[in-house]
Amino acid sequence: MKRIYTILLIASTLFFFACQQEENLAGGATGYLRLTVNEDMSTNSRAVPENYKPEQIAVQIVNEEGETVKETEDWELWGGKPIELPVGKYTIKASSNGFDGKDAGFDIPYYTGSKEVTITANGEANETIICKLANVKVTVNYDAALLAKVRSVAATVDDDAVSNGTSATYSLAFPSTEPRSGYFPVSRLFANITVVNNEGVSNSMRKELTDAEGNPVKARDHFILNIKESGTGESGITVTVDPTTHEYSYTFNVSTKPTSGATLTAGAWDRLAYLKATNVSTGTSVSTEGMKFQYRAAAETETLAEDEEAGWTDVVTTTEENNYTAMLTGLAAATAYEYRLVNGDGDVIATQSFTTGKADAQTALVNGGFDDWYLLEAKLGFMGADSKTWYPCSSQYYTDNGASYWDSSNPGTTQGMGSMSGGLNPTQGTTEVKHSGTHAAHLETQWAVLKLAAASLYTGKFNSLVGASGAKIDFGQPFTSRPVALKGWYQYAPEMIDDEKQEVGNSGVLETGDSDLCAIYIILAKGVHQVDNTNTSTLLTMENVWKDNNFIAYGELPADQCVDTEGEWKEFTIPLQYKEGQFGEQPTHLIIVCTSSKYGDYFTGAVGSTLYVDDFSLVYEGTPAIWKNK
Identify the weakest region by mean pLDDT among 26-35, 143-152, 246-255: 26-35
Nearest Cα to Cα of residue 117 among 267, 10, 212: 10
Judged on CB neighbours under 10 Å (0-12, 13-18, 19+), 520 is buried
Determine the Cα–Cα distance for residues 475 and 375; give it in Å rounded to an integer. Answer: 21
Taking residues 49-69, report their average pLDDT. Answer: 87
**Parallel/antiparallel/unpaired status of strands 470-475 and 577-579:** unpaired
Q: What is the model's pLDDT at position 197?
A: 75
Q: How many CB atoms lie within 10 A of CB 157?
A: 23
pLDDT at 480 > cutoff 90? yes
Taking residues 547-564, report their average pLDDT. Answer: 94
Looking at per-residue pLDDT, the higher value among 560 and 37 belongs to 560
Q: What is the model's pLDDT at position 4?
A: 36
- Split at pLDDT 50, 70, 90, the class of 31 is very low
CB 492 within 8 A of CB 606: no
Judged on CB neighbours under 10 Å (0-12, 13-18, 19+), 117 is middle
Which one of 77-86, 126-135, 436-445 scores highest in mean pLDDT? 436-445
Distances 545 to 80, 309, 519, 630 between C-alpha atoms, Å: 84, 43, 16, 13
- Split at pLDDT 50, 70, 90, the class of 428 is very high
Q: What is the 3-state secondary structure (H, E, C) of 276-339?
A: EEECCCECCCCCCCCCEEEEEECCCCCCCCCCCCCCCEEECCEEECCEEEEEECCCCCCCEEEE
Q: What is the model's pLDDT at position 424?
A: 84
Q: What is the model's pLDDT at position 28?
A: 44
For the sheet containing 440-444, what is the strand order? 427-430, 440-444, 610-619, 485-493, 570-575
pLDDT digits (tens, 9 = 90+) for 282-311: 765 677 889 999 999 986 444 444 445 678
Q: Is 538 helix (H, G, I), strand (E, B) or coil?
A: helix
Question: Could you say which DSSP state residue 544 is in?
Answer: H
Q: What is the model's pLDDT at position 20?
A: 23
Q: What is the model's pLDDT at position 505?
A: 77
Nearest Cα to Cα of residue 87 among 129, 117, 65: 117
Helix (H) or strand (E) holding 243: none
pLDDT at 386 > cutoff 90? no
pLDDT at 381 > cutoff 90? no
Question: Could you say which DSSP state residue 217 is in?
Answer: P
CB 277 within 8 A of CB 270: no
CB 96 within 8 A of CB 109: yes
pLDDT digits (tens, 9 = 90+) for 433-456: 999 999 999 999 998 766 788 999
pLDDT at 588 > cutoff 60? yes
Determine the Cα–Cα distance for residues 575 and 175; give it in Å rounded to an integer. Answer: 56
pLDDT at 457 > cutoff 90? yes
- Split at pLDDT 50, 70, 90, the class of 5 is very low
Question: Could you say which DSSP state residue 418 is in?
Answer: G
Nearest Cα to Cα of residue 41 among 98, 112, 114: 98
Taking residues 57-85, report their average pLDDT. Answer: 87
pLDDT digits (tens, 9 = 90+) for 320-364: 888 999 999 999 999 999 999 998 888 888 888 999 999 999 999
- Region of residue 553 (phi > 0: left; psi between -120 and 50: alpha; otherwise: beta): beta
CB 90 within 8 A of CB 72: no
- Split at pLDDT 50, 70, 90, the class of 37 is very low
Question: Could you say which DSSP state residue 414 is in?
Answer: H
pLDDT at 130 > cutoff 60? yes
pLDDT at 34 > cutoff 50? no
Which amino acid, 428? Answer: Q
Please compute, for residue 372, the number of CA atoms within 13 A of its CA located in the half-sphere on the CB side.
13
Determine the Cα–Cα distance for residues 255 and 265; give it in Å rounded to an integer. Answer: 22
Which amino acid, 158? Answer: D
> What percent of the chain is predicted at pLDDT more than 70?
81
Helices (H) and strands (E) in the chain, counts: 5, 45
Taking residues 217-235, report their average pLDDT. Answer: 78
Taking residues 80-84, report their average pLDDT. Answer: 78
Mean pLDDT of the chain: 81
pLDDT at 63 > cutoff 50? yes
In the chain the first and final C-alpha atoms are separated, in Å, by 60
Q: How many CB atoms lie within 10 A of CB 20?
A: 11
Instruction: Give the length of the chain.
Output: 630
Strands in 455-569 per DSSP E: 456-466, 470-475, 477-478, 485-493, 519-525, 529-532, 551-556
pTM: 0.60
pLDDT at 264 > cutoff 70? yes
Distances 334 to 168, 271, 292, 302, 624 between C-alpha atoms, Å: 33, 9, 25, 14, 19
Residue 475 has phi, psi (to 5 degrees) of: -85, 135
Which one of 195-209, 217-231, 370-384, 476-490 scores highest in mean pLDDT? 476-490
Tell me the β-bridge partners of 447. 452
Q: What is the model's pLDDT at position 239?
A: 65
Q: What is the model's pLDDT at position 231?
A: 61
In degrees, rounded to 5, the angle at the alpha carbon of residue 293 between the alpha carbons of residues 290 and 297 is 145
